[in-house]
Structure 1
């Protein structure tokens, strides 16, 4: 295969094979984040950038802006990525890896162009990117890859800087076990307090996306079933967590729910909505509820507002006792897991030896043709994947 089929790839990934079995000669790591405002004056410009091309008036954006304004216009996501960057840098150093970690965002300062330019100025031109999104979807993977390709062009670094991307890490042990740990502790507390296991419901919550985007997630020939790879990956991880907790989860009922829908009413999105399901649970005999924010790496705004505010308020209105378990954040197991992902690419690790807790993984190092294409939109160049 021509290296041109994998734009901006390092030699190790340029063949386009699903898993790179050649040691990667990387000289830096790029932490790629979503970004968020850090003051009241940033909020509307940030939301305009996130929704660019969708012609959403400022009046509508201001409705969403109120979520940020209640936190003085500051999203926690940048502080969390600063902490994650520092923790990852320390973990790599503890393993004797002298790779600097740069950080850039898709939607707010520091932008990906800033990070790529700084890396190049420092003499680092073979980068391995880690995007803070665990699952396959357009917004969770391909859009990061597209924005990285666009940032290379905008920074005039195409041909000078090469960027590969770490695989989707939905079933990475260090990611999954942090949720399992929080769920175990909460279920034990509920049991100790006298709540019958049969009256406990576990809702694994993730970001809703347009139904067509979900159907397009993953490679077109993956056979993932309804909801594509996005739904299949979440269900597989949730099932693994419940299985690992053994007798503690019997006869606890669990399901996958969705949150943070932002599209127009006529457009079908993944359902059920978490608040809608919470309202129904008392009629099904539930007394207590555990929310597991399975789709989220850290406590950013859609966790703090949509779960800690709206979902917990819905539980209170329904008369349910409710607990939201922590996101991975900078949990040592998660940070170590990211370092493991970096090392598997540095060593060209065989897929059979990579950390993966579901039959779906380990996911691809180089995304397959047509993977996670955005429905009804022109195809944009993207790093770390075969065209289109």
Structure 2
């Protein structure tokens, strides 16, 4: 019950603000910026460095192959990651075998969606646009420099860290960097794995393994934004995309549409270990439905299961087929744990679930992904600004391990990021 009051009010304020901003009349360009029929962009002043700048903002995500030629390496890294897909003691043998077997099939899927994943394009766009906003709203920490670190595809975490060093961060020069997870809901399999990888390369390139010191003088000062499942701007962005899709149904059918919030599933072994992801995804779903006025029937469903072991269900594909059999023909799929389009939306939901399982039924649709949504990008900037103002290295939740966790790497990673508090 305690969750109910804040969200509708907060989202109502955001709706009013964003509506005013993005529906306002466009002012004509000054005459000095026009040449004949061509429009010339106004000069951009250099961002003044604030007292606490510059600040690197690193978007962390799973990533995806930008071309079909990158699929093999992407799958090899993915199936080698025991944090995401635990395969037991034989992971180093089974992982590469599965990757090789699946590569031709997955290459065809990427070919069917245009030859590669758009996740890098959207991540770089979101990071760059967010940093432009931060330069204005948080001038004391400007300039804000965007970086992207993918776990399984280019640009890899290792390459991102080397770029940070090349750009003048660390190596005796200090500087601040924020590890900003682009998984809104925390899981050890996603955010946890990305932070483990970041910590590993920090130790190799700038920590004790590189310099012989635990905290070398002038190293990068790190902080972490590790989760944001019910941020009002995130909720508003999802809700507005759902409302746009609802408007495509005839008014007589609109109130009977079922909303299916689809998220990447987890192995039950990870869930039973105490991973917070299922609860945090459910929190996002509930908050979005509060914003929609609880007017629609809905379910949280799960996709992208791999391998024979039990995974969290019910599966998205099975749910759609079963509802159609029961006479429910109008459904909207909402990718609630993804912040941009990639293989899970463009192929798995659009081609497999809607195209094959629903046989292209006109009543089964998907809400647009967040991608370049200005409400979402404003939300990212607000999250980062609030984090910068908090003075916190990481949330209290991040330092709490899963009840069944036995990973020493996870323990050391959490201890490292928590220890950064003394340097901020």
Match of 2:413 in 1: 382
Match of 1:195 in 2: 253
Whole-Å separation in 1 of the counterparts to 2:395 and 2:272: 18
Measured after TM superposition, the shift of residue 205 of structure 1 is 0.3
Measured after TM superposition, the shift of residue 318 of structure 1 is 8.1
Whole-Å separation in 1 of the counterparts to 2:148 and 2:329: 43
1:335 aligns with 2:377: yes
Match of 1:308 in 2: 350
- Structure 1 residues 369, 280: closer, same or farther in 2, change over 3 A? same
Deviation sequence 1:213-245 (CA, Å, 0-9, x none): 123355xxxxxxxxxx22222222212222222
Whole-Å separation in 2 of the counterparts to 1:273 and 1:372: 26
Whole-Å separation in 1 of the counterparts to 2:297 and 2:385: 37
- Structure 1 residues 372, 336: closer, same or farther in 2, change over 3 A? farther
Deviation sequence 1:325-349 (CA, Å, 0-9, x none): 1222222222122222221222127
Please, which moves more after superposition, 55-64 or 85-94?
Answer: 55-64
Measured after TM superposition, the shift of residue 64 of structure 1 is 2.7
Q: Is the 8 A contact 2:59 2:149 kept in 1?
A: yes
SS at 2:260's partner residue? strand
Greater share of residues in helix: 2
Match of 1:116 in 2: 161
Whole-Å separation in 2 of the counterparts to 1:83 and 1:318: 31
TM-score (norm 1): 0.78
1:240 aligns with 2:287: yes
Whole-Å separation in 2 of the counterparts to 1:385 and 1:366: 12
Deviation sequence 1:292-323 (CA, Å, 0-9, x none): 11011100111111111111124533846111
Deviation sequence 1:9-45 (CA, Å, 0-9, x none): xxxxxxxxxxxxxxx8873222223222222321111
Q: Is the 8 A contact 1:113 1:154 kept in 2?
A: no
TM-score (norm 2): 0.72
SS at 1:317's partner residue? coil
Match of 1:261 in 2: 305
Q: Select the residue among 38, 41, 48 that pairs with 2:69.
A: 41
1:147 aligns with 2:201: no
Whole-Å separation in 1 of the counterparts to 2:297 and 2:162: 49
Whole-Å separation in 1 of the counterparts to 2:418 and 2:104: 39
Whole-Å separation in 2 of the counterparts to 1:66 and 1:154: 36
- Structure 1 residues 80, 157: closer, same or farther in 2, change over 3 A? farther
- Structure 1 residues 133, 204: closer, same or farther in 2, change over 3 A? same
Whole-Å separation in 2 of the counterparts to 1:39 and 1:349: 40
Q: Is the 8 A contact 2:224 2:417 kept in 1?
A: no
Specify every segment of 5 or more residues in structure 2 that has no aligned partner in the other structure, as ranges: 1-51, 81-91, 170-174, 209-214, 420-424
Q: Select the residue among 74, 99, 105 that pairs with 2:116.
A: 74
Whole-Å separation in 2 of the counterparts to 1:146 and 1:185: 38
Aligned length: 335
SS at 2:189's partner residue? helix
Match of 1:213 in 2: 270
Q: Is the 8 A contact 1:137 1:217 kept in 2?
A: no
Match of 1:170 in 2: 229
Q: Select the residue among 175, 185, 189 that pairs with 2:244.
A: 185
- Structure 1 residues 197, 366: closer, same or farther in 2, change over 3 A? closer
Whole-Å separation in 1 of the counterparts to 2:232 and 2:199: 29
Measured after TM superposition, the shift of residue 191 of structure 1 is 4.3
Specify the structure having the higher radius of gyration (Cα).
2
Q: Is the 8 A contact 2:76 2:95 kept in 1?
A: no
Q: Is the 8 A contact 1:174 1:337 kept in 2?
A: yes
- Structure 1 residues 66, 365: closer, same or farther in 2, change over 3 A? farther
Specify every segment of 5 or more residues in structure 1 that has no aligned partner in the other structure, as ranges: 1-23, 219-228, 351-362
SS at 1:31's partner residue? strand
Q: Is the 8 A contact 1:43 1:73 kept in 2?
A: no
Q: Select the residue among 399, 410, 417 that pairs with 1:368.
A: 399
1:83 aligns with 2:141: no
